[in-house]
C-alpha cells in the first residue's frame, strides 16, 4: 500500500552521500547536512562555518574534497549528482521514500579508484580491500586489545612531517592534529612565535617560506586508551587480580597492542588514505634531502578519489538481494514496530497486562503490519502492533538494559562453553565501564589543554624532542591477531531464524552462539556522546525547591478561600478566552485547525442504514458533550490524594501563603474555564498534587479516549509544574511523540522541551495550569501526531512524511482504544465515578465500539489509490491487517466489559 505525493519532490540526498557538482564534474564532495536532518535545536554560531546556517527545503551542505583548499558550501539538490552512497552492516534501507517495506544491510563491498596522495597521479583500475596493506595505525574510536582487556583509542599525539614550498621538511608535533597525508594549506604550521618557532628551528632548521604547506607523513606516537572490559571467558577468581592497563601507550609498548577490526574497517571510503600490498608500477614521490635533518621521506600512500558500493540486503519478507548502494536509500525514521528476520522480540498480546512472551521474527509484511514469529517452537502470525522490539514491556529485574538481543555489526564477548551471561534470553547484558578520568574537562579557562590531555601532550612533546638526539623506537601495533588468540571477542554478522547468532571473531575465525553466551560491548566514545546528549535535555525532575512552605491552610467543602495575601499584585491568571494563541513550536506540533472533518471512518457513499447509524451516533455524541450531570464536574477538590498518584510518595511540605494565594486564583479559573473534555482534581491533604483527565479530541486518533496526567507543584509558580503521564501501552510504544512511556510530558511550557521562542517557556507571571492543560489537548493530542516529533514538521507534505504519519496515526488510534480498556479495568483513584459515568452511563463506550468496528469494516473494503489518498487528506485512518488484529483484540475485551456492566446493572 504505497502512497505517493505529487506536491513535493522526494528527498534525493542523505548524510555521507558522495556527490558531484553537475556544472563542474571534477568537484567531488561529501554531504554533511541535509534539509530533512533531525536538527531540532537552533544551530549555534552559524557565521563561523558556511555549512551552519539553517537549510531551506531542498538544500544540502557539502564538503568538497577536490578543491585546492577545503570548500564547504550549501547547494540545492538540483545542482548535485549522486555518485555513491555510504552504507555499513546494520543500516536499514528502503527502495524509495514512499515504500513501507525495508531491509537490513548484512554486508557491504566497496571498490575504489586511487590517486597518489601527493602527486595526484591516478592508479589504473579499481581496487578492493583485497589489494590493501592490512597494516595500519589505530585511529580514534578503534578498539585495541592488550592481554585480556579491550579498550578504545580516545586521543592521539602525532608527529607530522610537513613540506614547505622550499622543499624543506618540518616535523610538527601536535596533540590530535587530525591531518591527512596530502593535505595542503598555508596554515598547517603554527605561527612563528615563541616556543613553537623555537621547537621547529631546533628540530629541522630555520628555512621557512610562505605558501602552501603539504602533509607528507603522519605518525601516531602516543595513544590514550580507555580500557573498557575484560575477557569474559576468564574464571571469576581471576577477575579481581586483573588491573586496568596503563592509559598512555608509546614507544616499544605500542607493539603489545592488537587492533580489533570489524568488516567495515576493511572497506575504503572516499578521502581516506590507504596503502597497497603491491606498490610495483604505482606512483611514488620522494621528499627532503639526505644531508638535512629529516632525511628523505618516501610517500607511497594513496587517497581514495572515487568509490562504488554494493550491499547485501535482508528484506523484511526474508528475501535477500545484492544491490548498488545508489539504488536504495537509508531508512531515516524507522517505525518503532519495524523489525527484521532474526530479531528477538516480545509478543505482548495487545497489552492489558498480558505476559510478554519472547519470540524470534521470521518474516514481516510491512504493508499489512503483520509478522510471523517463532513462539514456543511454533510459527505464528501476529500484528506488529503487538510486538515489542525494545524490551519496554519486560518487567524483569534487568528491564533497564536497553534493547533485546543484539544487532548486526555489534561487538560482543563470548562466554566459555557451559557458561552464560546471567540473563534470561532474549535480554543480554552490556558491559564497558568508562573510567571517570575520560570524562574530565579537556580545557582550562584560558583555553589550554588540561588534565590527562596535558599529560598526553607532555609525553608526546618529550618524545619529539628526544628524537633529535637519539633513536626512538616506535612500536608498530599489530593489525591482525594470531589464530585462536581472540576467539573470546567478535562482531555479530547475522541473526538466524532459530534465534542463534553468527559471530566473526577478532582473530578471523567464526562461530555460532545462543544469546545466553554473549555479552555486548558498550563503547566508551558512544557513552560520552550519549551523556552529552542527555545533559542537553531538560529533566522533569530538575525542580529544586526554593524556600519553605510555612502557611497553614484549609479548604472548604464548597468554595475556595482566598488567603488574603496576593502572590504578585501585577500577576493575572488568564481564563480560557484570555489564553494566548497556542504556538505550533510549543510542542513541536501544528495547532489543530477548525475545518470540520467527518468522524471516523469515511469511505464509500453512505447507505440509508449508515445514515441512520450516523444520526444515532450524533445523538450519542450530543449526550456526551452536554455532560449536564453531577457525575461530571470539571473541577473538584477531594479530601485526600489517591495512593496511585505518581507523586503520592513525595514528601508533603507546608504550603506558603503566597503559594496558596496563587493556587486559589488558579483554581477559580479552572472552575470556570476548563474545556468540557478536561477534568481536574485537587486534594485537601496535598495542595501540591493535582490529577487531570483529558478526553481525546474529536477527529484525532485519540478521539473519546482517556489520558490521565498527574502534576506536582514544586516551587510553584517559580518553576513549571512537574507532569507525569500515565502511559497504558504496556510496552507497545509511545502513543504520542510528546508523551513518553516512562511518564515524561515533552512540552515547552513545562520546560521539558527547549523552546525556540522564549515566550513559549514557563513564566511565573503569565503561565498557568490551565494553559498547560489546554496546550496538551490542543498541541499534543492532534490529528497527525507523527509531526509532533521536533524534527519531523519539516517533512509535512513530503512522501516520507505522509507514509510515516499514516503509520503513526494507526498506531496511536489502536493504542488509545486500549487506554479505554485499561482505564475501565482499573480506574484511576478519584476518577472512578466519572470514568464509569462517562463510558457506561453516558454510553461513550458504545460509541467507541461502534466507531472502531465501522473503521475495521471500511478498512476491509477494496479502494482505489485515489480514494485512499482522499481519506488521508481528510485525516481518516485506514487500518492495516496488523492494525485490525490488534484492535479487534481490544474491542473483544471492551465488549466483555460492556456486557459485564449491563448484567450488573
Query: Which residues participate in catalysis according to the annotation?
Result: 746
What does DSSP assign to residue 841? Answer: I
**Cβ–Cβ under 8 Å, residues 127 and 307:** no
Q: How far apart are the first and last CA of the chain?
A: 45
Q: How many whole angstroms separate alpha carbon 552 and alpha carbon 550?
A: 7
CB 168 within 8 A of CB 103: no
Please, which residues have CB within 8 angstroms of residue 860's CB and are 6 or more apart in sequence? 884
124-130 long-range contacts, Cβ below 8 Å, gap at least 24? 126/308, 127/268, 127/276, 129/266, 129/267, 129/268
Residues in the chain: 905
Q: Where are the alpha helices (DSSP H) in 424-523?
A: 451-466
Q: Beta strands 518-521 and 430-431: pairing type?
A: parallel
Please tell me what DSSP assigns to residue 867: H
Cell of 323: 544491490
> Coil, strand or helix: which one is 793?
helix
Q: Which residues contact 633 (CB under 8 A, 6 or more apart)?
A: 679, 834
Beta strands in 389-485 (DSSP E): 411-414, 430-431
Backbone φ and ψ of 901, nearest 5°? -65, -40
CA distance 365 to 349: 18
Q: Verify cis geometry, omega within 30 degrees of 0, for the bond prior to 426.
A: yes
Report how far residue 117's alpha carbon sits from residue 402's, in angstroms, rounded to the nearest whole number. 43
Nearest of 691, 688, 684, 690 to residue 554 by alpha carbon: 684
β-pairing, 102-116 vs 92-94, is: antiparallel
Angle in degrees, 0-180, between the axes of helices 844-860 and 881-904, rounded to the nearest 10: 150
CB atoms within 10 A of CB 668: 16
* CB-CB contact of 809 with 701 (8 Å): yes
8 A C-beta contact, residue 849 and residue 894:
yes
Question: Of the candidates 129, 502, 487, which has an alpha carbon nearest to the alpha carbon of residue 314?
Answer: 502
Amino acid at each position: 500500500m504505497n502512497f505517493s505525493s505529487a506536491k513535493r519532490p522526494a528527498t534525493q540526498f542523505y548524510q555521507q552521500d558522495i556527490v558531484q557538482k553537475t556544472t563542474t564534474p571534477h568537484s567531488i564532495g561529501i554531504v554533511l547536512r541535509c534539509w530533512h536532518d533531525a536538527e531540532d535545536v537552533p544551530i549555534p554560531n552559524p557565521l563561523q562555518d558556511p555549512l551552519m546556517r539553517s537549510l531551506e527545503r531542498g538544500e544540502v551542505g557539502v564538503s568538497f574534497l577536490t578543491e585546492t583548499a577545503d570548500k564547504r558550501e550549501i547547494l540545492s539538490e538540483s545542482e548535485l549528482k549522486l555518485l555513491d552512497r555510504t552504507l555499513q552492516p546494520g543500516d536499514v534501507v528502503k527502495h524509495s521514500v514512499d515504500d513501507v517495506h525495508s531491509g537490513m544491510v548484512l554486508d557491504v563491498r566497496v571498490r575504489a579508484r586511487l590517486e597518489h596522495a601527493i602527486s595526484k597521479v591516478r592508479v589504473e583500475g579499481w581496487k578492493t580491500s583485497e589489494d590493501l596493506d592490512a597494516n595500519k595505525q589505530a585511529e580514534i574510536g578503534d578498539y585495541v586489545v592488550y592481554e585480556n582487556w579491550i579498550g578504545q583509542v580516545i586521543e592521539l599525539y602525532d608527529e607530522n612531517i610537513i613540506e614547505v614550498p622550499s622543499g624543506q621538511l618540518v616535523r610538527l608535533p601536535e596533540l590530535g592534529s587530525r591531518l591527512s597525508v596530502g593535505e595542503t594549506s598555508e596554515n598547517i604550521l603554527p605561527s612563528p612565535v615563541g616556543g613553537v618557532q623555537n621547537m621547529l628551528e631546533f628540530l629541522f632548521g630555520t628555512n621557512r617560506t610562505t605558501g602552501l604547506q603539504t602533509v607528507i607523513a603522519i605518525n601516531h606516537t602516543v595513544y590514550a586508551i580507555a580500557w573498557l572490559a575484560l575477557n569474559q571467558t576468564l574464571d571469576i577468581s581471576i577477575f579481581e587480580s586483573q588491573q586496568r592497563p596503563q592509559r598512555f601507550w608509546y614507544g616499544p609498548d605500542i607493539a603489545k597492542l592488537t587492533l580489533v577490526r570489524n568488516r567495515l574497517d576493511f572497506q575504503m571510503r572516499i578521502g581516506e588514505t590507504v596503502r597497497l600490498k603491491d606498490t610495483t608500477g604505482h606512483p611514488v614521490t620522494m621528499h627532503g634531502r639526505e644531508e638535512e635533518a629529516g632525511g628523505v621521506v618516501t610517500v607511497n600512500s594513496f587517497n581514495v578519489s572515487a568509490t562504488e558500493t554494493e550491499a547485501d540486503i535482508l528484506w523484511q519478507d526474508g528475501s535477500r538481494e545484492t544491490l548498488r548502494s545508489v539504488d536504495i536509500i537509508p531508512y531515516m525514521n524507522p517505525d518503532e514496530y519495524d523489525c527484521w528476520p532474526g530479531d528477538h522480540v516480545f509478543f505482548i498480546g495487545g497489552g492489558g497486562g498480558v505476559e510478554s512472551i519472547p519470540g524470534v521474527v521470521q518474516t514481516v509484511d510491512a504493508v499489512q503490519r503483520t509478522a510471523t514469529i517463532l513462539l514456543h517452537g511454533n510459527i505464528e502470525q501476529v500484528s506488529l502492533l503487538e510486538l515489542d522490539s525494545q524490551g519496554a514491556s519486560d518487567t524483569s529485574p534487568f528491564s533497564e538494559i536497553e534493547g533485546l538481543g543484539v544487532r548486526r555489526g555489534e561487538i560482543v564477548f563470548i562466554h566459555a562453553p557451559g557458561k552464560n551471561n546471567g540473563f534470561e534470553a532474549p535480554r543480554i547484558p552490556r558491559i564497558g565501564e568508562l573510567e571517570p578520568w575520560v570524562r574530565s574537562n579537556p580545557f582550562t579557562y584560558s583555553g589550554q589543554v588540561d588534565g590527562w590531555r596535558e599529560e598526553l601532550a607532555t609525553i608526546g612533546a618529550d618524545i619529539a624532542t628526544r628524537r633529535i638526539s637519539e633513536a626512538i623506537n616506535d612500536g608498530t601495533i599489530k593489525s591482525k591477531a594470531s589464530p585462536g588468540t581472540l576467539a573470546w571477542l567478535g562482531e555479530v554478522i547475522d541473526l538466524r531464524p532459530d534465534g542463534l547468532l553468527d559471530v566473526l571473531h577478532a582473530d578471523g575465525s567464526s562461530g555460532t552462539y545462543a544469546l545466553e553466551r554473549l555479552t555486548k560491548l558498550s563503547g566508551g566514545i558512544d557513552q560520552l556522546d550519549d551523556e552529552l546528549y542527555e545533559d542537553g535535555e531538560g529533566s522533569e525532575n530538575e525542580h529544586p525547591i526554593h524556600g519553605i512552605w510555612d502557611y497553614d491552610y484549609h479548604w472548604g467543602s464548597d468554595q475556595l478561600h482566598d488567603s488574603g495575601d496576593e502572590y504578585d499584585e501585577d500577576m493575572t491568571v488568564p481564563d480560557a478566552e484570555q489564553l494566548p494563541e497556542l504556538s505550533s513550536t510549543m510542542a513541536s506540533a501544528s495547532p489543530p485547525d477548525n475545518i470540520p472533518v467527518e468522524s471516523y471512518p469515511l469511505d464509500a457513499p453512505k447507505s440509508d442504514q449508515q445514515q441512520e447509524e450516523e444520526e444515532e451516533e450524533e445523538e450519542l455524541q450530543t449526550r456526551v458533550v452536554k455532560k449536564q450531570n453531577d457525575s461530571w464536574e470539571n473541577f473538584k477538590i477531594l479530601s485526600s490524594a489517591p495512593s496511585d498518584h505518581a507523586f503520592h510518595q513525595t514528601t508533603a511540605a507546608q504550603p506558603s501563603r503566597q503559594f496558596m494565594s496563587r493556587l486559589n486564583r488558579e483554581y477559580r479559573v479552572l472552575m470556570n474555564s476548563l474545556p468540557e473534555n478536561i477534568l481536574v482534581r485537587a486534594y485537601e491533604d496535598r495542595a501540591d498534587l493535582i490529577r487531570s483527565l483529558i478526553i481525546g479530541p474529536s477527529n484525532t486518533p485519540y478521539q473519546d479516549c482517556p489520558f490521565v496526567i498527574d502534576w506536582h507543584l514544586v516551587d510553584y509558580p517559580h518553576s513549571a509544574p512537574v507532569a507525569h503521564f500515565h502511559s497504558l501501552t504496556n510496552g507497545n510504544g509511545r502513543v504520542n511523540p510528546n508523551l513518553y512511556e516512562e511518564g515524561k510530558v515533552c512540552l515547552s511550557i513545562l520546560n521539558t522541551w527547549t523552546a525556540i521562542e522564549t515566550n513559549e517557556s514557563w513564566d511565573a507571571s503569565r503561565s498557568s495550569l490551565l494553559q498547560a492543560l489546554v496546550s496538551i489537548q490542543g498541541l499534543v493530542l492532534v490529528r497527525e501526531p507523527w509531526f509532533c516529533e521536533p524534527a519531523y514538521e519539516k517533512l509535512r507534505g513530503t512522501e516520507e512524511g505522509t507514509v510515516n504519519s499514516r503509520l503513526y496515526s494507526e498506531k496511536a488510534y489502536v493504542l488509545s482504544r486500549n487506554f479505554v480498556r485499561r482505564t475501565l479495568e482499573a480506574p484511576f483513584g478519584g476518577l472512578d465515578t466519572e470514568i464509569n459515568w462517562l463510558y457506561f452511563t453516558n454510553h461513550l463506550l458504545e460509541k467507541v465500539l461502534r466507531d472502531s468496528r465501522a473503521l475495521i469494516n471500511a478498512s476491509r473494503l477494496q479502494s482505489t489509490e485515489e480514494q485512499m489518498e482522499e481519506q488521508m487528506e481528510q485525516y481518516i485512518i485506514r487500518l492495516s491487517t496488523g492494525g485490525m488484529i490488534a484492535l479487534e483484540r481490544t474491542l473483544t475485551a471492551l465488549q466483555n466489559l460492556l456486557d459485564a456492566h449491563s448484567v450488573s446493572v
